[in-house]
Amino acid sequence: MSTMQRFAERAVLAIAGALAAHNASAITPESGFWVSPLLADTAASIEITDDFLFMAVYSYDSQGFATWYTAQGTMSDDRHFSGTLNRFGGGQPLTGALHDATFLGDFGPVSIVFDSNDETRATIQWVGRTMSLQRLDVFSFFVGTQNNAHQAERMLGEWTMVMDVQSNADFPFFGDVLIFDQSELDPNLPNQWFYDGCRPSTSLIGQCTVAALANHDASGFYNADTGDQTMVVLDSLGETPSQDIYFTYLVTAGLSQFDGVVQFHPPGGFDPNGIFFPVRGFRSASKRFVTTGSGPNALPAEPKSVPLAAPMSRLDQLRAANGGTLPSGLNAAEVQQRFPIDVAATVDAQRQLEQRVRANQRR
């Protein structure tokens, strides 16, 4: 039996068991390469589809020969996985004749606990050892970690998000799209980064046009003390600046997704004791695309000199869907318990961002 046949047989059995148990989980840990500071030259590729996890580890035996380990099975919930390591060796070299790797038997139990506060971190127990795992941060390779540059770099690109406004209407979920295409180190604060962009005029363009920058400017801020990202977007321009409306997002971001909350408010009206609504965002276009119009997710781009469009308020649409008012959301204590994000710790960053957005407005 070949290596792939062996894996397919075990995977089918595991999936059948999952279907029989009707196990429902909200999978949030990120798929990709995971590394441990205790294992040099070793990495684990973890792929999660629905509630099924497959892990492949490339490592070396005691004599330094390359060895592969795999594990697969259904997660018990969205944070826990337990399985058995299978060991393989003697595989086919890139230039050698076609042949299967040799199955060297089960190598012992393995369990993974993903961090409930950070979807890019986990703890793994295997072969009698317990160690930390971290999702490989590719942005740190591009720009380095000095002054936390990679934390702002990860936010550059296009983000598509869903807000749970808990409306009484038939559809309680609403969407938003944000683009960030440039970053800047705060000259007054070490390790603190701003990043700027907009809510685009259309997702088909995927860039910040003149209209988008004028009507829906946006800025974000990485807080090195809390590890959270704060983002402020101008929802609509009022007849006077005091009538403008802002959306403030408070999120914890991974490499390709984030979780957090959003609050809608007038200028200077962000209230840490106010109402918040859950939000989840996903990267939908690359940094290269939003800055150059080419690269992953590229579509024919509209020139940035698009004529100004009439301002559109997303908040007005949300209110209209709920009989003219906003439904009750989460308070600060509920936000802290659920995500967790310390809302009070974001106030200074939010005020800075709102001033930054206001200064960039083109009235």
State the pLDDT at residue 269.
94
CA nearest 290: which of 156, 195, 176?
Answer: 156
Cα(91)–Cα(210) distance, rounded to whole angstroms? 56
Give the model confidence (pLDDT) of 299-328 as tens digits. Answer: 444 444 444 445 567 888 788 777 778 877
Helix (H), strand (E) at residue 27: none
Q: Is 43 exposed, middle or buried (0-12, 13-18, 19+ CB in 10 A)?
A: middle
Tokens 């702002």, residue located: 152
State the pLDDT at residue 9.
44
Cα(356)–Cα(120) distance, rounded to whole angstroms? 30
CA nearest 358: which of 257, 245, 278?
Answer: 245
Tokens 């089960």, residue located: 106
State the pLDDT at residue 306.
46
State the pLDDT at residue 360.
75
Chain centroid, CA 124 distance in Å: 22
| Model pTM score | 0.77
State the pLDDT at residue 85.
94
Give the model confidence (pLDDT) of 261-302 as tens digits. Answer: 999 999 999 999 999 999 999 998 888 888 776 655 544 444
Q: Please report, for residues 211, 214, 262, the alpha-carbon distance to residue 307 in angstroms, rounded to integers and kept in the order given.
A: 6, 10, 29
308 HSE (CA, 13 A, CB side): 10
3-state secondary structure of 205: coil
Pairing of strands 129-135, 193-198: unpaired
Do 25 and 31 touch, CB atoms closer than 8 A?
Answer: no
Q: What DSSP string describes 57-124?
A: EEEE-TTS-EEEEEEEEE-SSSSEEEEEEEEEES---TTS---PPEEEEEEEEEEEEE-TT-TTEEEE
Partners of 244 in beta bridges = none
Chain centroid, CA 347 distance in Å: 22
Helix and strand element counts for the chain (H, E) = 8, 16
State the pLDDT at residue 169.
58
Which stretches in the chain have pLDDT values below 70? 1-27, 167-171, 190-191, 293-312, 361-363
Q: Is 307 exposed, middle or buried (0-12, 13-18, 19+ CB in 10 A)?
A: exposed
State the pLDDT at residue 52.
92
Cα(95)–Cα(103) distance, rounded to whole angstroms? 21
Q: Please report, for residues 88, 108, 311, the alpha-carbon distance to residue 238 in angstroms, rounded to integers and kept in the order given.
A: 65, 64, 9
Q: What DSSP string describes 321-354?
A: TTTTSPPP-B-HHHHHHHS---GGGGHHHHHHHH
State the pLDDT at residue 6.
41
